[in-house]
Structure 1
Amino acid sequence: MTDFEVLSRINDMIELGCEQEARASLIEHLHGRSQSEEAYTPLLNHLLRRVGLYPYLQLDTAMWQDRIVADVFRADVGLPEFATLHRDQSSLLSKLLKGQSVAVSAPTSFGKSFVIDAFISITRPKSVLIIVPTLALMDEVRRRLHRKFGGSYSVVTTTEGNIPEGSKIFVFSQERAITYANRIESLDLFIVDEFYKASAAFDKDRSPTLVRAMIKFSSIAKQRYFLAPNISSLKENLFTRGMEFVKTDFNTVVLKTYDLSDSTSGDVEKKSAAVRRICQPGSKTLLYAGSHSQVKVASDAVKMSWPLSSSDLLRDIGRWLGDNYSATWALSTLIQHRIGLHNGQIHRAIAQMQLRLFEMEQHGLDLIVSTSSIIEGVNTSAQRVVVWSNKNGNPRLSNFDYRNLIGRGGRMFRYFVGEVYLLEKAPADSETQLTLELPESLLGVAEIDSVSDSLSEAQRDKAEAFDRDVSAILNVTSVAALQREGKLQSSDANVIWKLVNSISNEPSNWRALANLNSSNRESWEWVLFNAINLSPAGWDAPYTKVVAFIKVVADSWTSTIPAMLRKLSNHSVTVEEFFKLERTVSYKMAALLGDINTIHARVSPNRGFDVSPFIYRLSHAFLPATVYQLEEYGLPRMLSRRIHLSAIVDFERADLSLSDALEALETRRSEVYKLFGSPAEHFMLDHFYAGVTVDQVTRQST
Structure 2
Amino acid sequence: MAVDTYDLGGVADKEMRLFDEIAKEHHWPALVFVSAPDRANRLASRAAGLMKISDSSANFAQWLSENIGPSSPLVQTVRSGFGVHHGRLPRAIASQMVRMFNQNALPVLFCTSTLIEGVNTAAKTVLIFDKTINREDYDFFTYSNIKGRAGRLGEHHVGQVYLFNAPPEHEPTEVAPTLFGDQDDAPDDYVVHLEEQEVTEKVDTRVARLKMALGLDADGLRLAASIRLEYALELKQAVSRALSKSDDLLWAGLPTYSQIRAVVDVICSVRRPGEFGAFTASQLTYFIHDLRRALSMQIFLLAYGDKYNGKPETHDTIFKFLRACEYGLPQHFAVVEKFVKQHVSTADYSLFIESISHWFKPEELKNLDEEGVPIQISERFYQGENREQFVNKLILHARDGSQNLTPFERMWILTALE
So what's the TM-score if we normalise by structure 1?
A: 0.52
Which one-letter code corresponds to 2:5 in the other structure? T
Could you report, residue by residue, the CA deviation over 1:68-104 in whole angstroms, capped at 9, with x for unpaired residues? Answer: xxxxxxxxxxxxxxxxxxxxxxxxxxxxxxxxxxxxx
Rounded Cα–Cα distance in structure 1 between residues aligned with 2:143 and 2:53: 32
Query: Do 1:398 and 1:427's aligned partners in 2 also have CA atoms closer than 8 Å?
Result: yes
1:353 to 90, 96, 103: 96
Q: Evaluate the alpha carbon distance shift between residue 591 and residue 658 of structure 1 in structure 2; reply closer, same or farther with a 3 A threshold.
A: farther
2:357 to 610, 619, 640: 619
Is 1:480 equivalent to 2:223 in the alignment? no
Is 1:414 equivalent to 2:155 in the alignment? yes
Query: Do 1:339 and 1:367's aligned partners in 2 also have CA atoms closer than 8 Å?
Result: yes
Q: Evaluate the alpha carbon distance shift between residue 552 and residue 461 of structure 1 in structure 2; reply closer, same or farther with a 3 A threshold.
A: same
Partner in structure 1 of residue 332 of structure 2: 592
Rounded Cα–Cα distance in structure 1 between residues aligned with 2:125 and 2:352: 46
- Determine which structure has greater relative contact order: mean sequence separation of CA pairs < 8 Å that are 6+ residues apart, divided by chain length: 2
What is the 5 A alignment of 1:264-275? Answer: 264=12, 267-275=14-22
Rounded Cα–Cα distance in structure 1 between residues aligned with 2:295 and 2:364: 12
Is 1:374 equivalent to 2:103 in the alignment? no
Rounded Cα–Cα distance in structure 2 between residues aligned with 1:468 and 1:604: 19
Which one-letter code corresponds to 1:465 in the other structure? R
Rounded Cα–Cα distance in structure 1 between residues aligned with 2:392 and 2:246: 43
Rounded Cα–Cα distance in structure 1 between residues aligned with 2:322 and 2:80: 28
Query: Do 1:556 and 1:623's aligned partners in 2 also have CA atoms closer than 8 Å?
Result: no
Alpha-carbon offset, residue 488 of structure 1: 5.9
Rounded Cα–Cα distance in structure 1 between residues aligned with 2:25 and 2:141: 28
Q: Evaluate the alpha carbon distance shift between residue 617 and residue 677 of structure 1 in structure 2; reply closer, same or farther with a 3 A threshold.
A: closer
Query: Do 2:35 and 2:112's aligned partners in 1 also have CA atoms closer than 8 Å?
Result: yes
Partner in structure 2 of residue 171 of structure 1: none
Alpha-carbon offset, residue 680 of structure 1: 2.1
Q: Evaluate the alpha carbon distance shift between residue 489 and residue 628 of structure 1 in structure 2; reply closer, same or farther with a 3 A threshold.
A: farther
Alpha-carbon offset, residue 334 of structure 1: 2.5
What is the SS of the residue equivalent to 1:642?
A: coil
Query: Do 1:552 and 1:567's aligned partners in 2 also have CA atoms closer than 8 Å?
Result: no
RMSD: 3.3
Rounded Cα–Cα distance in structure 1 between residues aligned with 2:310 and 2:127: 38
Could you report, residue by residue, the CA deviation over 1:207-236 in whole angstroms, capped at 9, with x for unpaired residues? Answer: xxxxxxxxxxxxxxxxxxxxxxxxxxxxxx
Rounded Cα–Cα distance in structure 1 between residues aligned with 2:351 and 2:390: 21
Q: Evaluate the alpha carbon distance shift between residue 542 and residue 564 of structure 1 in structure 2; reply closer, same or farther with a 3 A threshold.
A: closer
Partner in structure 1 of residue 344 of structure 2: 604
Which one-letter code corresponds to 2:44 in the other structure? S
Partner in structure 1 of residue 210 of structure 2: 466
Query: Do 2:32 and 2:108's aligned partners in 1 also have CA atoms closer than 8 Å?
Result: yes
Rounded Cα–Cα distance in structure 2 between residues aligned with 1:668 and 1:527: 42
Query: Do 2:122 and 2:155's aligned partners in 1 also have CA atoms closer than 8 Å?
Result: no
Which one-letter code corresponds to 1:623 in the other structure? K
Alpha-carbon offset, residue 293 of structure 1: 4.2
Rounded Cα–Cα distance in structure 2 between residues aligned with 1:514 and 1:587: 23
Partner in structure 2 of residue 291 of structure 1: 36
Is 1:634 equivalent to 2:372 in the alignment? yes
Q: Evaluate the alpha carbon distance shift between residue 468 and residue 560 of structure 1 in structure 2; reply closer, same or farther with a 3 A threshold.
A: closer
Which one-letter code corresponds to 1:658 in the other structure? R
Alpha-carbon offset, residue 340 of structure 1: 0.7
What is the 5 A alignment of 1:95-244? Answer: none
Alpha-carbon offset, residue 392 of structure 1: 1.9
What is the SS of the residue equivalent to 2:152?
A: coil
Query: Do 1:445 and 1:480's aligned partners in 2 also have CA atoms closer than 8 Å?
Result: yes
1:334 to 77, 95, 105: 77
1:543 to 275, 280, 296: 280
Query: Do 1:443 and 1:493's aligned partners in 2 also have CA atoms closer than 8 Å?
Result: no
Rounded Cα–Cα distance in structure 2 between residues aligned with 1:597 and 1:524: 12
Rounded Cα–Cα distance in structure 2 between residues aligned with 1:404 and 1:530: 41
Partner in structure 2 of residue 561 of structure 1: 301
Q: Evaluate the alpha carbon distance shift between residue 574 and residue 553 of structure 1 in structure 2; reply closer, same or farther with a 3 A threshold.
A: farther
Which one-letter code corresponds to 1:610 in the other structure? D
Query: Do 2:308 and 2:315's aligned partners in 1 also have CA atoms closer than 8 Å?
Result: no
What is the SS of the residue equivalent to 2:159?
A: strand
- Percent of aligned positions that are identical: 21
Rounded Cα–Cα distance in structure 2 between residues aligned with 1:498 and 1:293: 30
Query: Do 2:126 and 2:160's aligned partners in 1 also have CA atoms closer than 8 Å?
Result: yes
Partner in structure 2 of residue 492 of structure 1: 228
Could you report, residue by residue, the CA deviation over 1:345-400 in whole angstroms, capped at 9, with x for unpaired residues? Answer: 11111111111112225xx2211111222232623241110011222242223323
Which one-letter code corresponds to 1:462 in the other structure? R
2:387 to 658, 668, 671: 658
Could you report, residue by residue, the CA deviation over 1:425-444 in whole angstroms, capped at 9, with x for unpaired residues? Answer: 22222234355225412266
Query: Do 1:345 and 1:583's aligned partners in 2 also have CA atoms closer than 8 Å?
Result: yes
**Unaligned residue ranges in structure 2 (runs of 5+):** none
Is 1:583 equivalent to 2:323 in the alignment? yes
Is 1:687 equivalent to 2:415 in the alignment? yes
- Which is worse superposed, 556-565 or 348-357? 556-565
Query: Do 2:123 and 2:152's aligned partners in 1 also have CA atoms closer than 8 Å?
Result: yes
Partner in structure 2 of residue 513 of structure 1: 249
Is 1:321 equivalent to 2:64 in the alignment? yes
Which one-letter code corresponds to 2:390 in the other structure? A
Rounded Cα–Cα distance in structure 1 between residues aligned with 2:230 and 2:174: 29
Which one-letter code corresponds to 2:208 in the other structure? E
Which one-letter code corresponds to 1:580 in the other structure? K
Q: Evaluate the alpha carbon distance shift between residue 601 and residue 664 of structure 1 in structure 2; reply closer, same or farther with a 3 A threshold.
A: farther
What is the SS of the residue equivalent to 2:327?
A: helix
Query: Do 1:443 and 1:459's aligned partners in 2 also have CA atoms closer than 8 Å?
Result: no
Which structure has the larger Rg over C-alpha atoms?
1
So what's the TM-score if we normalise by structure 2?
A: 0.84
Rounded Cα–Cα distance in structure 1 between residues aligned with 2:102 and 2:245: 53
Rounded Cα–Cα distance in structure 1 between residues aligned with 2:190 and 2:9: 46
1:307 to 26, 34, 52: 52
Q: Evaluate the alpha carbon distance shift between residue 375 and residue 308 of structure 1 in structure 2; reply closer, same or farther with a 3 A threshold.
A: closer
Alpha-carbon offset, residue 287 of structure 1: 0.7
Could you report, residue by residue, the CA deviation over 1:515-557 in whole angstroms, capped at 9, with x for unpaired residues? Answer: 5755642442122111221344844643333223222222344
Which one-letter code corresponds to 1:283 in the other structure? W
Which one-letter code corresponds to 2:415 in the other structure? H
Query: Do 2:32 and 2:110's aligned partners in 1 also have CA atoms closer than 8 Å?
Result: yes
Query: Do 1:444 and 1:493's aligned partners in 2 also have CA atoms closer than 8 Å?
Result: no
Partner in structure 2 of residue 445 of structure 1: 192
Alpha-carbon offset, residue 683 of structure 1: 2.3
